[in-house]
Structure formats: structure tokens, C-alpha cells
Homo-oligomer: A and B are copies of this chain.
């Protein structure tokens, strides 16, 4: 920038003014400075600028489980889009369900002085964020943080699961199985709750042998499905709720359920679900990321970022889900 100032024969400050579009510079100097910028191919160092001005780095940090999972990729897409509307860039990191790694990543993001932090929490305790003196907004996505008073954007997991199970019960099923992931995850617990609620509402006794959790990969879910299908006919489920997209994919790989007369409803939409005629509980990961980002950065548009120290009670937003009927859940018992 000093070079530009010399080339244009003005002071450093004048260049700064021109670059930031501040008023109060005579038009001939503006022209000169712009010419010098062009000639020297100068690009402002945003890092240095944010260091001095202290207004923020215009950077948002996102911690998800894994960009490779379409569900989280969609969340990341929404956050990126929203950040862009706020002239911010997005640093995306994947914690892979590892609380220690999550903390490392969050710490690294805080060291970079991100303006806001959006987290799909793997760990349970996030007080260290506030302890680190982070003044920006923290918003949790998909799962709340247990010990932290912060905004969270969730989906109505229990209602979704209940909807799905009730749907299958309506179609005559009484032996409904649940294949899900780790009960240590909020979403899995909530979906389990919805499942048991639906059974209770229909006065169907809970059968533990029909509940298979802890499946974090589709292959693991496939194995669980095979075990369920191998049960003696009397104990075998006639309907299945797969509690996330990995589990649904795994279940599909276990064999032709429709031919076997077994109903299936999957939690979460997935590509080709329509083609395969799989009934699903549709969630909106894009909307979730978008709402979370807007909570952190302020409403869309060129509105100013909300004051960081503005205290308002932590919000918990729960997005609705919907049942998309495509055939697989309507197989009758």
C-alpha cells in the first residue's frame, strides 16, 4: 500500500481512503491512486485490515461431522450461501464425531478470530468456547449442546419418527423395528423417543429385540437388517424405521424388503429415494444451515451484523419435518 502511495504521489492514508471508498478525496487523486493500484496490481491485505480495525475477520467457522455426508454437505452449502450474503467467507471443518477433534478445530477457528461459530456438536460440553472469551455468536446445528446456553437450530426428530411409525402402524404393522445410530447422539435418542411414543400411542408393547442402535455406517446397518430378517417369522419385524440416511442405505442393501412384504420408512431424504419408491421423513438440512447462519450473522441482506455483545436469550428453533409417501412404507402387514 505504501508502494501505491508513492507511485500515486499521495499519502498512505489517501490510498486507504480510496480503497475503502471513503468520502473526502478529490477526484483527481482518486484517479491517480486507482491508476497506481492497477499498475502495481495491488490487493489489500484483508487480514491486516481486520487486525487494525477490529471489526471482525468476515469469516465464519463451521464444524460439521463430515462434508462427505450429503446431509452435512447441504448444511455447509446453506451456510456458505448465507455467509456470502454477508460478505463473509466460510472455513469448513469436519470433526468426524470426535469430541477431542472438535475441540481442536474450534480452538483453531477461535485463534483465527472467526466472527461466528456454527457447530454440529460431537462433544457435550462447549463451555470452553465462552471461557476462551469468544465474543461472537455460537449456534449449534442439528443437536443442542447440553451444557451451553447458546442458540440451536434443530429438526423435530421425535415428531418425525413418531409420524413414520404411526404411518406404518396405520398400515397394519405391529412389529416395527428401529435401526439407528449411536444413542449417545441427541438425534438418535430423540428419534428413538418418537418411535416409542408411537408404539405407546397404539398400545403396542415395546420389544427390545426390534431396536438396533449404534450403527454409524451403512454396512453396520445392513448387518443389523440381516439379523432382523433372520429372526423366526414370529419375531421378525414387518416394518422398519431407519433413523438416518446411512441406515436407510444399509437397509436397502440387505435385500428386497418389498418383496419380503416388509414396510420401510427412512429418516432423511436421499437421492433416488423417489426412484426407488422409498417413503421418507423429509428434513431440510439446507434450511437448517440457513437459519443457523442467519441467527449468527443477522438476517439476510446487507443488514449490519448484530452487535456481538447484544444479549438476548438463547433461541432454540425447531424445524418441522414431513412424511413423503412413496410406497415402501405402505406395504401392508
Contacts and interface: CB of A to CB of B under 8 A. Distances in A.
A41 interface: yes
A58 to B, nearest CB: 9
A25 B199 CA distance: 66
A91 B94 contact: no
A76 interface: yes
B45 A113 contact: yes
A74 to B, nearest CB: 6
A68 B73 contact: yes
A178 to B, nearest CB: 22
Interface residues of A, number: 47
Contacts of A249: 271-272
B92 A108 contact: no
Best-buried of A108, A109, A249, A270 by chain B (most CB within 10 Å): A108
A252 B70 CA distance: 20
Interface in A60-115: 66-68, 70, 73-74, 76-77, 80-81, 84, 89-94, 107-113
A6 interface: no
Contacts of A133: 41, 43
Interface stretch (A7-15, A47-55, A258-266): A47-55
B92 A80 contact: yes
Contact of A73 (B45, B47, B70, B93): B70
Nearest to A88: B108
Contacts of A270: 271
A90 B111 CA distance: 14
Contacts of A94: 77, 80-81
A112 B252 CA distance: 45
Contact of A108 (B76, B89, B131): B89
A41 B129 CA distance: 10
Nearest to A128: B41
A46 interface: yes
9 contacts: A41-B133, A43-B111, A43-B133, A45-B111, A46-B111, A67-B67, A80-B92, A91-B92, A252-B272
